[in-house]
Amino acid sequence: MTTSTTTGRDPGLTAAQVAEQIAAGHANVTPGKSGRSVADIVKANVFTRINAILGVLFLIVASTGSFINGLFGLLIIANSGIGIIQEIRAKRTLDRLAIVGQTRPMVRRDGVATELASDEVVLGDIIELGPGDQVIVDGVTVESESLDMDESLLTGEADAVDKSLGDQIMSGSFVVSGSGAYRATNVGADSYANKLAAEASKFTLVSSELRSGIDQILKVITWLLIPAGVLTIVNQLFISQNGLRTALLGMVAALVPMVPEGLVLMTSIAFAVGVVRLGQRQCLVNELPAIEGLARVDIVCTDKTGTLTENGMRLAEVRIVDDAVTRDRVQAALASIAAHDPRPNASIQAVQEAFPDAPDWTTSAVLPFSSANKFSGMSLRDAAGASQGNWLIGAPDVLLDPASDTARLASDLGATGLRILLVATTDVPVDTPATGDTAVPGTLAPTALVVLEQRVRPDAADTIKYFESQNVEVKIISGDNARSVGAVGQSLGLGSPDTAVDARSLPTDDDALADVIAGADAFGRVRPDQKRAMVKALQSREHTVAMTGDGVNDVLALKDADIGVAMGAGSSAARSVAQIVLLDNKFATLPYVVGEGRRVIGNIERVSNLFLTKTVYAVLLALLIGGAGLLAKAMGWASISYPFQPIHVTISAWFTIGVPAFILSLAPNNERAKTGFVRRVLVQAIPNGIIVGVATFVCFLIVNGDHSTALGAYVGHLAVDPADTAASVANAALTVGAIQTQAATAALATMIAIAVYVLVVVARPYNWWKIVLLAVSAGMYVLIFLLPLSQRLFHLDSSNGAMMSVAAVCAIVGIVAVEISTRVLNGYLARRNRVREQRVHV
């Protein structure tokens, strides 16, 4: 888009001067928006604490020559490879979308204002500003027509700051009202805005309840690993009577399952896949926790114009209310106002389309539109210099006495869903300071009502119904007339013109304000500071609030909401503070964003349960067996060593955690997320882990008695006949080795059977693909334990019927215990949730 500048204004740089600045490196070039380079991504995914632990354990196993037991080393490749692929894919998605969603300033060069990409701006450029524009580089004001800037992103102060010629304009601020231009003095890395934008668009796994909860869990696990690991090492290397090779394999087998190697990986994958999926729907996620945050949202506050209604408007009629003023004069004034507005909003654009032929009038004074005042104005004169009136255009219910006939007429028209503007004249120039309680300069005389048609988006009703079905409340918060907002809400099933609340009557106390908001669905004449206060009042009642909007008047609320959602066609200021930008400008995209958030957090909670159950029973089993080994040593009993080899714990995770967790982490999940992630996961995982660990240990103690008996017979045989042949000794050793394998197989069968049932519990509620997943997982273990090839490959022996019977009984007892524990704990959590929800709604 290009526009010619007004004669006498600075024409900006020439093409030659721009080329010189680019050659000197003075362009507004910034690093990639998605943060880390590909090399950084690779490094961050390869050199992790978990990979280091697994790598050391793999080297220990490799030193024994039993490479089949080192299959868990493939987890290093999986952890790194999948994480790298998904993050690079997400990076590319963000890079592509960031280009589409970036701010495009109007830059004046060779006397022509052209819309350019932000990285094409150079030092010394003249950049034009209008309402809602964000300042992308630092500069100095060179033109100002009542230019007011909001610097809240820099200073935290919401009050607009007037900018005169020569005043500094800081990047990161945006225009509240008026227009003007500034000369760029700091670009690229020297500009604060570039640092702000780079930080906002960075692809990072930043702080969130989900990730902070996982970090807390991993810290606890790290401390548990120390005593369990030390006890296992002491028992395997110094107490058990096994050789060094067997001791090392047992030690590694005990330590590997303690590491929740896939938990962080699955979380990263779920977030990254979420970014890609939303990117395919033209949704730019500036901050990844926004995906998680939307899953927790229970109230959506939405603007009306441009969100629920389409941006474009059509002028339906101009209704004259002052018989002393002719229709031609009003239309001429409207055409001139529209023609001289440098940045017309949707209403003025509709007027301009209806009256494209403006008279040859100029402006002698300008009063820019303000969200606080709800009106703007121009003092006009003709080519001869004669005054053509001081005209105001704005909200009838702000400019008029509510008891007047014109105000009642405007209210009745607005109640049908139409947008109404008042055209009025004053007896003084519009830039005359107002006196008294009113912001209107001079004495106002209403002349006409401009009736505009707003079209409700065709998909808005379905979107509202979706939120209702998900127990998410929707509140319409708009700066328009309350009855007009109520009419739009009524068409969407949200209140009516009679129940809509005029925000000018809202209380200022948070509690009282929250009570009013709870009782209504539509609010009109809401000032920007009131939108912010309404969001805070809802948050004070423990609601998670999402705010959607597209205008400069939505910025404060977008910034303070738990999740800010901006429309791509909205102001650059709104897009800069929002965590999510809907580049397709479709409110109907929001349910997909909410659904993606619920999928991520709900599924991560599921798979966390699986991973932490494994960690709990691995730590407990290591402590129990290590403690039993120390006790046996002290009492002079037969030694007790860790029964499993690394390959055993590797296969035990294949179909109880690995494959199922990956599938479950990407599955649909529409359940609204709740706070307390860590508590819920631990409440389920700890009891399940204890049950698996204790049942496996009991099974091992029972079947280990047979192993001890065989070992005793072997030692006794050597004592009676020390001259026995080498063949007999070898045969006896093989017998003992076979019994050891049989005992380990029985204990492993118990552990896997109960772990599979934990998967059965976690997968609830069932559908066809979950049933298939569970059947395949159980079936694969049946094959592994029965097929001769897999038994030889994985060092298993299920031929001892007595031991396998013990394993079956222990497994059944463990499964029953898991089911009882799950039902009791689910009832406990359900009661806590009911109490919390009752407290929130009181």
Write the pLDDT tens digit of every residue in 231-241: 877 777 776 65
What is the distance between the alpha carbons of residues 685 and 691, in angstroms, rounded to a whole number? 10
- 374 near 177, Cβ under 8 Å? no
Which phi and psi (to 5°) does residue 98 adopt? Answer: -65, -35
CA nearest to 456, candidates 421, 417, 493, 494: 417
What is the distance between the alpha carbons of residues 198 and 202, in angstroms, rounded to a whole number? 6
Structure tokens, 803: 């031991």
Crossing angle for the helix pair 510-518 and 528-540, to the nearest 10 degrees: 90
Most confident by average pLDDT, 254-263, 485-494, 665-674 = 485-494
Give the pLDDT band of residue 196 (cuts 50, 70, 90): very low
What pLDDT score does 328 carry? Answer: 93
Higher pLDDT: 780 or 453? It is 780
What pLDDT score does 714 carry? Answer: 46
Q: Which of 138, 148, 150, 303 is catalytic?
A: 303
Is 567 exposed, middle or buried, given 0-12, 13-18 or 19+ CB atoms closer than 10 A? Answer: buried
Give the pLDDT band of residue 155 (cuts 50, 70, 90): low
DSSP 208-260: -HHHHHHHHHHHHHHHHHHHHHHHHHHIIIIIS-S-HHHHHHHHHHHHGGGS-
Mean pLDDT of 366-384: 84
Give the pLDDT band of residue 710 (cuts 50, 70, 90): very low
Which phi and psi (to 5°) does residue 201 adopt? Answer: -100, 5
CA nearest to 312, candidates 449, 417, 454: 454
Give the pLDDT band of residue 36 (cuts 50, 70, 90): low
Most confident by average pLDDT, 262-266, 590-594, 684-688, 835-839 = 684-688
Higher pLDDT: 519 or 556? It is 519
Which residues face 362 on adjacent strands?
381
Q: Which of 272-276, 336-340, 492-496, 536-540 has the lowest mean pLDDT?
A: 272-276
State what percent of residues in the chain have pLDDT above 70.
82
Residues contacting residue 771 through CB under 8 Å, at least 6 positions apart: none
What pLDDT score does 127 carry? Answer: 92
What pLDDT score does 30 carry? Answer: 63
What pLDDT score does 200 carry? Answer: 40
The number of beta carbons lying within 10 Å of the beta carbon of residue 420 is 24
3-state secondary structure 651-704: HHHHHHHHHHHHHHHCCCCCCCCCCCHHHHHHHHHHHHHHHHHHHHHHHHHHHH
Most confident by average pLDDT, 123-132, 598-607, 754-763, 831-840 = 754-763
- Say whether pLDDT at 372 is over 80: no
What pLDDT score does 147 carry? Answer: 85
What pLDDT score does 60 carry? Answer: 79
The chain-wide mean pLDDT, for the chain, equals 80
- 653 near 614, Cβ under 8 Å? yes
Higher pLDDT: 811 or 717? It is 811
- 231 near 115, Cβ under 8 Å? no
- 134 near 36, Cβ under 8 Å? no
CA nearest to 440, candidates 484, 402, 395, 403: 395
* Predicted confidence (pLDDT) per residue in 75-89, tens digit: 667 667 766 776 676
What SS3 class is residue 667?
Answer: coil
The DSSP 8-state label assigned to residue 430 in this structure reads T
The DSSP 8-state label assigned to residue 655 in this structure reads I
Most confident by average pLDDT, 217-226, 454-463, 654-663, 682-691 = 682-691
CATH number of 209-275+595-841: 1.20.1110.10
CA nearest to 430, candidates 419, 422, 439, 421: 439
* Domain with residues 312-455, CATH architecture: 3-Layer(aba) Sandwich (3.40)
* Domain with residues 2-30+102-200, CATH architecture: Distorted Sandwich (2.70)
- Say whether pLDDT at 311 is over 70: no
**How much helix, strand and coil, in percent to the nearest 5, is found in the chain?**
55, 15, 30
For tokens 């503070």, what's the residue?
577
Crossing angle for the helix pair 726-762 and 677-720, to the nearest 10 degrees: 170
Domain boundaries, the chain: 2-30+102-200, 209-275+595-841, 283-307+458-583, 312-455
- 212 near 675, Cβ under 8 Å? no
Which phi and psi (to 5°) does residue 791 adopt? Answer: -65, -40
Structure tokens, 809: 């009984």
Higher pLDDT: 421 or 527? It is 421
Give the pLDDT band of residue 736 (cuts 50, 70, 90): low
Give the pLDDT band of residue 201 (cuts 50, 70, 90): very low
- Say whether pLDDT at 94 is over 70: no
Which phi and psi (to 5°) does residue 214 adopt? Answer: -65, -40
User: Which amino acid is located at 97 in the chain?
Assistant: L
- Say whether pLDDT at 34 is over 60: no
What is the distance between the alpha carbons of residues 785 and 651, in angstroms, rounded to a whole number? 11
Mean pLDDT of 282-294: 74
Give the pLDDT band of residue 221 (cuts 50, 70, 90): confident
Higher pLDDT: 814 or 246? It is 814
* Predicted confidence (pLDDT) per residue in 56-73, tens digit: 778 877 887 777 766 667
Q: Which of 160-164, 546-550, 596-600, 830-834 has the lowest mean pLDDT?
A: 830-834
Most confident by average pLDDT, 63-77, 112-126, 198-212, 806-820 = 806-820
Q: What is the pTM of this model?
A: 0.65
**Residue 303 falls in the annotated catalytic set:** yes
Is 207 exposed, middle or buried, given 0-12, 13-18 or 19+ CB atoms closer than 10 A? Answer: exposed
* Predicted confidence (pLDDT) per residue in 579-638, tens digit: 888 888 888 888 888 888 788 778 888 888 888 898 888 888 888 888 887 887 777 776
Give the CA distances from residue 780 to residues 655, 768, 785, in Å, rounded to whole numbers and listed in that order.
8, 18, 9
What is the distance between the alpha carbons of residues 172 and 38, in angstroms, rounded to a whole number? 29
- CATH superfamily for domain 283-307+458-583: HAD superfamily/HAD-like (3.40.50.1000)
- 80 near 45, Cβ under 8 Å? yes
Mean pLDDT of 7-22: 82
Q: Which of 258-272, 381-395, 768-782 has the lowest mean pLDDT?
A: 258-272
Which residues face 285 on adjacent strands?
580
What pLDDT score does 705 carry? Answer: 66
- Say whether pLDDT at 189 is over 90: no
Give the pLDDT band of residue 150 (cuts 50, 70, 90): confident
Mean pLDDT of 369-385: 84
What pLDDT score does 117 carry? Answer: 82
Give the pLDDT band of residue 475 (cuts 50, 70, 90): very high
**Range list of β-strands (E), 86-237:** 106-109, 112-115, 126-129, 138-150, 161-162, 168-169, 174-186
For tokens 């209107």, what's the residue?
440
The number of beta carbons lying within 10 Å of the beta carbon of residue 87 is 25
Higher pLDDT: 593 or 817? It is 817
The number of beta carbons lying within 10 Å of the beta carbon of residue 223 is 9
Mean pLDDT of 99-109: 74
Mean pLDDT of 287-294: 72
Look at the alpha carbons of 146, 152, 155, 156 in this order and tell me if their dihedral is positive or negative: positive
First CA to last CA across the chain, in angstroms?
A: 53
- Say whether pLDDT at 362 is over 60: yes
